[in-house]
């Protein structure tokens, strides 16, 4: 007993000894990290985003912290895939933990309500995965910054790919192309599908079906029956993981036939995982829009040093999480956190003398990174306050990739192409027209 | 359009089979133990994980993995009886509900700790059944046949065996059954084991349809609950019929309007039933 007490006393003294310098350390930068670490959004990409962020934090700290001086101390909160919890946790990070920056959020359903709250509290909300236009559009927020492209860009990219390749569908003019749009009914699916429709109508394509469903649905067969009778040349699908798998499986059993299937991130983002769960033949030749995962970028086209940075990120990610081919969300988590800690924060320190939300806000508005200068490939220039997209990075864009026999290549835009898109679906696809 | 409606009808019948299968266990447990198994959907989720685990980690043949999953779920059902239901048998209804509701949180988090937050699925390529332009979904057809077989087996078990007779007598009148020398606790154990095994059966039939994640079960509990109450709580045949009604109505509505409207309609039907005939289709008036 006496021994135990002595041991506890020693431990207590040690703990105090360890805690004291940390508490005295005023050169810590508390970074609020908010992701859905549990619940359905976690496996869909929130967890990968979180992991990417943590690798960026590790790498900055290994280099002596922000500008070699400020150690980054992440304060992690779990949004639990639930907007109510997310708002409570976001509020706690801003007001109780008093972090200058809250970073993260996978789901647009969480980012949309959280963004104005950050503005009210005058704390930076650094949005790094959620893509719905509504997060920033027409809100004139001053403390919210989003590095990744917007949902409408997703919806436009797939239709542009169809427009560029319409001849492959065997139609004489693009106006003869029949497209069907199906999407989950949350802010993410709605904003992507709206852009799908606007873009398709702009090109004069025929939208033969446009229908929403709940991503929690347990049966999609009625929707598939409607698709069958609409006979679209291309299906534009926006959904989360379980509903995308359900769609592929049920569509096969119900004999759906078409010429191209295009996904829009989230459920389609992790193609290897999708192939594992749904069966590889089902999603073979499927397209997906997302910012390119770092490992797919042509490193020769990037700014000097960026390729090495990506190499270190991939190595550390693999070592820490045993994933050698991380999904795009990991790249976004890493790259967008890296931009904050490596570019924006040092500028705030240098020019405005501290890491307060106000200084970071001003530095963000001034940051100017050209194309190829970040681990995500694209550059960074935020829209200024007073404009429609205030806080949105105007230089980011997604690419359309196609999965062919387990390999991914960039099919659009033409400038970044690493493969020529395979259209129509070849005979070895279960959805190929016979 | 007519062809589409015919397809939707067939589809609704098959969906009804899947829903009926889902509801059997919940119904049985309520009928006998008079307890609402709040964590029923989570049991289906666990069953799915066990089958997945036996199949991928132990490399058992799929059918053996499924049998293993059903047995484990039966044992887990008995464990729930031992640890949660037994101590609360005479407690107020609310306490029982809360205890089983908290089991939801325990099971979901347990699954997350053990298997992680990832989606897991076994990619099975089901045969395609086609008559001209009419496609029959084989995964649903299998579940539909499974539902009919399960109902048959349950009927034989309840009506032709001693245990079945004992279960029915306990369901009808616990005190009288006790007077006849039946120990209700033993019957409860058997019922929970059967209910647990049924969640394993559901999981086995769901393998070709869904992918599983720790929060997979929640919406199934609601769906099963709606079917059970709609058909008459504790009445297996009532649940069976209501599953088909809900399956066909939602399937046809989804084609005529949209899947979102179909979901709303199913719940509106449920509310109307509660107002007009609270005991459900085949339920006895309390």
Residue boundaries of the structural domains of chain A: 26-149+300-366, 152-290+398-416
Do residues A390 and A136 lie in contact, with contact meaning Cβ atoms separated by under 8 Å? Answer: yes
The upper half-sphere exposure of residue B34, i.e. CA atoms within 13 Å in the direction of its Cβ, equals 16
DSSP string, B137-160: -HHHHHHHHHHHHHHHHHHHHHHH
Q: Please identify, in words, the CATH class of the domain defined by A26-149+300-366.
A: alpha beta
The model's pLDDT over A190-210, given as tens digits with 9 standing for 90+, comes to: 989 999 999 999 999 999 999
The model's pLDDT over A209-241, given as tens digits with 9 standing for 90+, comes to: 999 998 888 889 889 999 999 999 999 999 988
| In the predicted structure, residue A339 carries a pLDDT above the cut 50 | yes
| Chain B residue with the nearest C-alpha to that of A267 | B119
- Average pLDDT of the residues in A180-191: 92
d(CA A379, CA A390) in angstroms, rounded, equals 17
Confidence at residue A421, expressed as pLDDT on a 0 to 100 scale: 96
Q: What's the sign of the alpha-carbon dihedral B228, B230, B231, B233?
A: positive
- Average pLDDT of the residues in A145-149: 96
d(CA A212, CA A267) in angstroms, rounded, equals 15
Confidence at residue A394, expressed as pLDDT on a 0 to 100 scale: 95
Q: How many CB atoms lie within 10 A of CB B168?
A: 15
Confidence at residue A20, expressed as pLDDT on a 0 to 100 scale: 43
Q: What is the largest CA-CA distance in chain A?
A: 90
d(CA A2, CA B169) in angstroms, rounded, equals 61
Do residues B200 and B111 lie in contact, with contact meaning Cβ atoms separated by under 8 Å? Answer: no
The model's pLDDT over A94-129, given as tens digits with 9 standing for 90+, comes to: 999 999 999 999 988 899 999 999 999 999 999 999
Q: What's the sign of the alpha-carbon dihedral A36, A38, A39, A45?
A: positive
The model's pLDDT over A363-377, given as tens digits with 9 standing for 90+, comes to: 999 999 998 899 998
**Residues in CB range of B40: below 8 A, 6 or more apart:** B25, B26, B29, B195, B199, B217, B220, B221, B224, B225
d(CA B66, CA B53) in angstroms, rounded, equals 10
CB contact under 8 A, B135 and A255: yes
d(CA B234, CA A4) in angstroms, rounded, equals 57
Which of the four pLDDT bands, split at 50, 70 and 90, describes residue A187? Answer: confident
Provide the domain limits for residue B7: 2-39+77-116+135-193+215-276
A95 interface with B at CB cutoff 8 Å: no
The fourth-level CATH superfamily of domain A152-290+398-416 is Response regulator (3.40.50.2300)
ipTM of the complex: 0.84
pTM to 2 decimal places: 0.79
Confidence at residue A112, expressed as pLDDT on a 0 to 100 scale: 93
Confidence at residue A22, expressed as pLDDT on a 0 to 100 scale: 42
B2 interface with A at CB cutoff 8 Å: no
Do residues B149 and A271 lie in contact, with contact meaning Cβ atoms separated by under 8 Å? Answer: no
- Average pLDDT of the residues in A390-407: 93
How many cross-chain Cβ pairs, A to B, lie less than 8 Å apart?
114
Three-state secondary structure call for residue A198: helix
Q: How many CB atoms lie within 10 A of CB A377?
A: 26
Q: What is the largest CA-CA distance in chain B?
A: 61
d(CA A204, CA A182) in angstroms, rounded, equals 19
Question: Where would I find the beta strands (DSSP E) of chain B?
Answer: 129-131, 134-136
Confidence at residue A49, expressed as pLDDT on a 0 to 100 scale: 96
CB contact under 8 A, B123 and A276: yes
Closest CA to A33 of A122, A129, A159: A129
| In the predicted structure, residue B263 carries a pLDDT above the cut 60 | yes
The model's pLDDT over B195-223, given as tens digits with 9 standing for 90+, comes to: 999 999 999 999 998 989 898 898 888 88
Structure-token pair, residue A23:
């508490």
Three-state secondary structure call for residue A124: strand
Do residues B176 and B168 lie in contact, with contact meaning Cβ atoms separated by under 8 Å? Answer: no
In sequence order, the β-bridge partners of residue A362 are none
Closest CA to B33 of B88, B76, B106: B88
**Residues in CB range of A257: below 8 A, 6 or more apart:** A228, A231, A431, A432, A433, A434
Phi (first) and psi of residue A76, to 5 degrees? -90, 135
The model's pLDDT over B32-71, given as tens digits with 9 standing for 90+, comes to: 888 899 999 999 999 999 999 999 999 999 999 999 999 9
| In the predicted structure, residue B286 carries a pLDDT above the cut 80 | no
Residue A222 has its nearest CB partner, among B209, B219, B255, at B255
A249 interface with B at CB cutoff 8 Å: yes
C-alpha dist (Å) from residue A339 to A48, A53, A57, A114, A377: 18, 11, 11, 21, 12
| In the predicted structure, residue A8 carries a pLDDT above the cut 80 | no
d(CA A357, CA A344) in angstroms, rounded, equals 11
CB contact under 8 A, B210 and A242: yes
Residue A277 has its nearest CB partner, among B4, B119, B214, at B119
CA A414 to chain centre: 22
- Average pLDDT of the residues in A16-36: 68
Phi (first) and psi of residue A206, to 5 degrees? -90, 120
Which of the four pLDDT bands, split at 50, 70 and 90, describes residue A26? Answer: low
d(CA B102, CA B276) in angstroms, rounded, equals 32
| In the predicted structure, residue A65 carries a pLDDT above the cut 80 | yes
**Residues in CB range of A276: below 8 A, 6 or more apart:** B121, B123
CB contact under 8 A, B213 and A255: no
d(CA A184, CA A216) in angstroms, rounded, equals 9
CB contact under 8 A, A226 and B4: yes
Which of the four pLDDT bands, split at 50, 70 and 90, describes residue A53? Answer: very high
Do residues B16 and B245 lie in contact, with contact meaning Cβ atoms separated by under 8 Å? Answer: yes
| In the predicted structure, residue B160 carries a pLDDT above the cut 90 | yes
CB contact under 8 A, B210 and A214: no
CB contact under 8 A, B11 and A221: yes
- The domain total for chain B is 1
On the question of a cis peptide bond just before residue A413, with omega within 30 degrees of 0, the verdict is: yes
Contacts A230 to B, Cβ<8 Å: none
| In the predicted structure, residue A6 carries a pLDDT above the cut 80 | no
- Average pLDDT of the residues in A243-261: 94
Which of the four pLDDT bands, split at 50, 70 and 90, describes residue A21? Answer: very low
B249 interface with A at CB cutoff 8 Å: no
| In the predicted structure, residue A23 carries a pLDDT above the cut 80 | no
Q: Is there a domain that residue B88 lies in? A: yes
Specify burial of residue B199 (Cβ count, 10 A radius: 0-12, 13-18, 19+): buried
| Chain A residue with the nearest C-alpha to that of B117 | A43
CB contact under 8 A, B263 and A39: no
Residue A222 has its nearest CB partner, among B112, B123, B254, at B254
Phi (first) and psi of residue A261, to 5 degrees? -125, 125
The model's pLDDT over A293-337, given as tens digits with 9 standing for 90+, comes to: 888 888 888 899 999 999 999 999 999 999 988 988 999 999 999
Confidence at residue A143, expressed as pLDDT on a 0 to 100 scale: 97
The upper half-sphere exposure of residue A202, i.e. CA atoms within 13 Å in the direction of its Cβ, equals 12
d(CA B265, CA A111) in angstroms, rounded, equals 31
Do residues A79 and A73 lie in contact, with contact meaning Cβ atoms separated by under 8 Å? Answer: no
Q: Is there a domain that residue B6 lies in? A: yes
Confidence at residue A7, expressed as pLDDT on a 0 to 100 scale: 52
Q: Which residue has the higher pLDDT, B9 or A3?
A: B9
Do residues B238 and B280 lie in contact, with contact meaning Cβ atoms separated by under 8 Å? Answer: yes
Confidence at residue A153, expressed as pLDDT on a 0 to 100 scale: 93
Confidence at residue A274, expressed as pLDDT on a 0 to 100 scale: 87
* Chosen from B212, B226, B254 to mutate, greatest number of chain A CBs within 10 A: B254
The model's pLDDT over B85-142, given as tens digits with 9 standing for 90+, comes to: 999 988 898 999 999 999 999 999 999 889 887 788 888 888 888 888 788 889 999 9
Q: Is there a domain that residue B203 lies in? A: no
């Amino acid at each position: 007993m006496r021994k135990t007490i002595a041991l506890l006393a020693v431990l207590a003294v040690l703990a105090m000894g360890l805690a004291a310098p940390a508490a005295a350390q005023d050169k810590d930068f508390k970074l609020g990290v908010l992701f859905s670490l549990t619940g359905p959004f976690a496996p869909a990409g929130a967890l990968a985003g979180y992991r990417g962020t943590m690798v960026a934090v590790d790498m900055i700290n290994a280099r002596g912290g922000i500008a070699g001086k400020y150690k980054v101390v992440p304060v992690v909160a779990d949004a639990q895939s639930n907007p109510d919890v997310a708002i409570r946790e976001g509020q706690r990070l801003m007001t109780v933990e008093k972090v200058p920056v809250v970073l993260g959020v996978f789901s647009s359903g969480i980012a949309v309500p959280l963004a104005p709250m950050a503005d009210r509290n005058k704390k930076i909300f650094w949005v790094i995965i959620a893509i719905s236009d509504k997060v920033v559009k027409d809100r004139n927020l001053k403390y919210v910054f989003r590095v990744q492209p917007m949902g409408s860009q997703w919806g436009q990219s797939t239709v542009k790919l169809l427009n560029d390749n319409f001849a492959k569908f065997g139609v004489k003019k693009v106006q003869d192309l029949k497209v069907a749009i199906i999407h989950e009914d949350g802010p993410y699916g709605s904003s992507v599908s709206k852009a799908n429709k606007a873009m398709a109508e702009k090109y004069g394509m025929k939208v033969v079906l446009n229908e929403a469903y709940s991503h929690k649905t347990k049966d999609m067969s009625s929707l598939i029956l409607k698709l069958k009778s609409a006979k679209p040349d291309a299906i534009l699908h926006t959904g989360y993981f379980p509903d995308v798998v359900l769609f592929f499986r049920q569509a096969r059993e119900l004999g759906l036939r078409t010429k191209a299937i295009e996904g829009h991130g989230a459920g389609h983002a992790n193609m290897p995982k999708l192939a594992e769960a749904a069966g590889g033949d089902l999603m073979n030749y499927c397209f997906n829009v997302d910012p390119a995962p770092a490992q797919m970028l042509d490193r020769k086209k990037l700014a000097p040093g960026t390729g090495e940075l990506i190499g270190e990120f991939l190595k550390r990610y693999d070592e820490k999480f045993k994933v050698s081919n991380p999904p795009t969300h990991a790249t976004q988590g890493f790259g967008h956190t890296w931009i904050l800690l490596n570019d924006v924060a040092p500028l705030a320190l240098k020019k405005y003398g501290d890491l307060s939300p106000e200084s970071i806000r001003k530095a963000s508005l001034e940051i100017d990174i050209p194309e190829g200068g970040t681990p995500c490939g694209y550059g960074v220039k935020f829209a200024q306050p007073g404009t429609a997209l205030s806080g949105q990075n105007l230089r980011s864009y997604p690419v359309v990739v196609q999965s062919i026999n387990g390999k991914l290549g960039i099919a659009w835009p033409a400038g970044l192409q690493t493969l020529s898109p395979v259209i129509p679906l070849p005979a070895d696809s279960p959805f190929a027209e016979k | 359009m007519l062809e589409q409606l015919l397809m939707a009808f067939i589809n609704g019948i098959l969906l009804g089979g899947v829903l009926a299968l889902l509801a059997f266990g919940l119904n049985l447990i309520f009928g006998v133990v008079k307890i609402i198994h709040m964590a029923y959907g989570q049991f289906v989720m666990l069953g799915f994980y066990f089958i997945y685990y036996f199949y991928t980690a132990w490399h058992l043949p799929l059918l053996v993995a499924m049998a293993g999953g059903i047995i484990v779920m039966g044992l887990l059902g008995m464990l729930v009886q031992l640890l949660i239901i037994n101590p609360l048998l005479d407690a107020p209804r609310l306490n029982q509900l809360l205890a089983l509701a908290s089991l939801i949180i325990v099971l979901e988090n347990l699954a997350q700790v053990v298997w992680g937050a990832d989606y897991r699925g076994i990619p099975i390529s089901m045969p395609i059944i086609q008559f001209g332009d009419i496609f029959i979904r084989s995964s649903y057809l299998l579940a539909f046949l499974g539902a009919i077989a399960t109902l048959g087996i349950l009927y034989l078990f309840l009506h032709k065996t001693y245990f079945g007779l004992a279960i029915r007598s306990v369901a009808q009148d616990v005190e009288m059954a006790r007077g006849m020398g039946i120990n209700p606790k033993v019957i409860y154990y058997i019922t929970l084991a059967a209910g647990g095994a049924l969640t394993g059966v559901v999981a086995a039939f769901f393998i070709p349809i869904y992918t599983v994640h720790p929060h997979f079960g929640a919406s199934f509990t609601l769906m099963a609950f709606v079917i059970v109450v709609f058909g008459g709580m504790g009445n297996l045949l009532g649940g069976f019929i209501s599953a088909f009604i809900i399956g066909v109505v939602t399937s046809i509505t989804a084609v005529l309007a949209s899947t979102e409207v179909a979901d709303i309609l199913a719940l509106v039907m449920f509310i109307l039933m509660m107002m007009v005939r609270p005991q459900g289709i085949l339920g006895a008036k309390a």
